[in-house]
Amino acid sequence: MGRPVMGAEGDIAGEARRRRTFAVISHPDAGKSTMTEALALHAAAISEAGAVHGKAGRRGVTSDWMEMERARGISITSAALRFEYHGHVFNLVDTPGHADFSEDTYRVLAAVDCAVMLLDAAKGMEPQTMKLFEVCRHRRIPVITFVNKWDRPGREALELLDEIEERTGLRPTPLTWPIGTAEGFRGVVDRLDDRIVLYTRTAHGATRALETELSPDRAEAELGADWIRASEEVDLLGAIGADHDQKRFEAHESTPVLFGAALSNFGVARLLDVLVGLAPAPAPRADVDGALRPLDAPFSGLVFKVQANMDRAHRDRIAFVRVCSGRFERGMVLTHAATGRPFATKYAQSVFGQERSTIDEAHPGDVVGLVNASALRPGDTLYEGQAVEFPPIPSFAPELFATARVRDTSKAKQFRRGVDQLDAEGVIQVLGSDLRGDQAPVFAAVGAMQFEVVQHRLAAEFGAEIVLDRLEYSLARRTDAASAEILRRQRGAEVLTRRRDQALLAVFSDQWRMRSIQREHPELTLDPLIAGESPREV
């Protein structure tokens, strides 16, 4: 049965109650990485915030550690930040800021208990925003909405609330309400604590914004028409019942809404307080059979991310593990559910962007980095004692395909090693082809930028420059051996083997061609890669 969980039952439960494990998600350019940095700043985890676009006097974003991320000013991989705030342990998992890396976002959402959705005040509900809301609904993840960039020209606050409700079905319940129009942001009415807060920006937004609490009389005297309008709108919100209901929030029926500006650090401290007060703590997690794993059961954890070469000096590989139950202790020997083999945890770390420190213990909700975890893949389960396995994290149906060849054949060994590494991380799906052989694997991607990342990393980390030749396929379906024999004789179709699990994938030039083949051969097995879900969920 393994070693008993140390400490009383209430010890594990108490530690779990202190945890808040959440992701920051958004449409590209809504300010996600800036918000991540601002949250860490307000929690005193860093002394000075960086900006994605690098204003003078501000340094690079903590969570964007990859060279390509710093050069382009976007997040293209997930990163974990762990810090403490008001007696609580925050595990903030930053997600990629580009739709081409939506698989990475999906993996992160498998490991969190809550999400903070950023909306651009001028753009409102954008395509990626809608898809992310839908993923959170499907996974039953409560969402806190933060309307960002309220210090710039934008839309009416009431109009944004109507759009959120109309397009997501969630009831928006503002916790704060802006004083002043979007470009003339003065402060907020805090509806939860019945306060009026005036914001004063600091130079470049590099330090915390100053906050001054005002009485209604002083607000009217200093803010004039802006205050009168805001107070009237707050009265309207109360009249229509747009008040926070914790049960409806946790049931994914409503979304609390805050207004602010991450770049100026307006409203960021209030968001941290809301996460402490309203975001759900870790709860028992369902295994593959639907049974709930109690928090005080022996240790179990879900691998949701694998990343190599974060530390260029050591060329190591780190697996990010969400603790689901029990107490993790560095050095404990766990069981890898996928293989049944033992897994030692001698090198366990707490991660803050690219920075790391040794961690001796962790509790439900924490994210632990296991170094040199060459056997682990995203979706794997680790456990101690009674066997458990959590549902795997599905792969998306790729839409882009290309053959890869190493430019210098003397680098073939490095090329193969790099391809194996990126496949294990889930950076790209690697497929085998009988027509092309092992020297020219087929890369399958959701978005074109995945190809750019693969080319960059193979050259920078493995010294293997590659040439990519795009294939004229745009659709993939899971098939079987009998169907594969028929499909290999069809024009506009090909059968490939996914290296990770040896699944047979049928790829087609387009949907019309697939349907034409199906009409001729109705006995074919052609299943979506993600059962019951959209092929491109986010």
Q: Please tell me the predicted confidence (pLDDT) of residue 318.
A: 86
d(CA 105, CA 127): 15
d(CA 349, CA 362): 10
Cβ proximity of 9 and 262 under 8 Å:
no
Does the structure show a pLDDT above 60 at 537?
no
Domains of the chain: 24-78+96-278 (3.40.50.300), 285-383 (3.40.50.300), 400-520 (3.30.70.3280)
More confident residue, 191 or 39: 191
Interval 271-288: pLDDT, tens: 999 999 999 999 999 999
Does the structure show a pLDDT above 80 at 295?
yes
DSSP secondary structure letters along 217-250: HHHHHHHTHHHHHHHHHHHHHHHTT----HHHHH
Question: What angle is formed at CA 130 by the lines to CA 129 and CA 131, rounded to 5 degrees?
Answer: 95
Does the structure show a pLDDT above 60 at 337?
yes
> Hey, what amino acid is at 137?
R
How many CA atoms within 13 Å lie on the side-chain side of 99? 16
As a whole-number percent, the residues of the chain with pLDDT over 90 amount to 58
d(CA 282, CA 366): 9
The total of other beta-carbon atoms located within 10 Å of residue 298's CB is: 21
Which pair of structure tokens corresponds to residue 378? 């995203």
Quick one: how far is CA 23 from the chain centroid?
Answer: 5
d(CA 508, CA 513): 7
Does the structure show a pLDDT above 70 at 533?
no
Mean per-residue pLDDT for 18-39? 89
CA dihedral 465, 471, 475, 476 (to 10 degrees): -60
Does the structure show a pLDDT above 50 at 471?
yes
More confident residue, 389 or 38: 389
Q: Please tell me the predicted confidence (pLDDT) of residue 206.
A: 64
Q: Please tell me the predicted confidence (pLDDT) of residue 405.
A: 93
Mean per-residue pLDDT for 133-148? 92
Does the structure show a pLDDT above 70 at 531?
no
97 labelled as ligand-binding?
yes
95 labelled as ligand-binding?
yes
Q: Which of 32, 41, 38, 50 is nearest to 118 (CA)?
A: 32
Interval 480-500: pLDDT, tens: 999 999 999 999 999 999 887
Phi-psi sector, 157: left (phi>0), alpha (psi -120 to 50), beta: alpha
Does the structure show a pLDDT above 80 at 355?
no
d(CA 321, CA 301): 6
Cβ proximity of 317 and 308 under 8 Å:
yes
d(CA 208, CA 200): 9
96 labelled as ligand-binding?
yes
Out of 33-42, 45-54, 365-374, 429-438, pick the least confident: 45-54
As a whole-number percent, the residues of the chain with pLDDT over 70 amount to 85
Q: Please tell me the predicted confidence (pLDDT) of residue 5.
A: 38
* Neighbouring residues of 495: CB distance < 8 A, sequence distance ≥ 6: 434, 479, 484, 487, 488, 504, 505, 506, 507
Q: What is the mean pLDDT of the chain?
A: 85
Q: Please tell me the predicted confidence (pLDDT) of residue 311.
A: 56
Q: Please tell me the predicted confidence (pLDDT) of residue 493.
A: 94
More confident residue, 393 or 148: 148
Q: Please tell me the predicted confidence (pLDDT) of residue 45.
A: 61
42 labelled as ligand-binding?
no
Does the structure show a pLDDT above 60 at 415?
yes
The total of other beta-carbon atoms located within 10 Å of residue 190's CB is: 18
The most confident of the ranges 130-144, 191-205, 302-316 is 130-144
> Hey, what amino acid is at 418?
G
Does the structure show a pLDDT above 50 at 56?
no
Helices (H), 279-316: none
**Strand ranges (E), 337-418:** 341-344, 348-352, 355-358, 361-362, 367-371, 381-383, 400-406
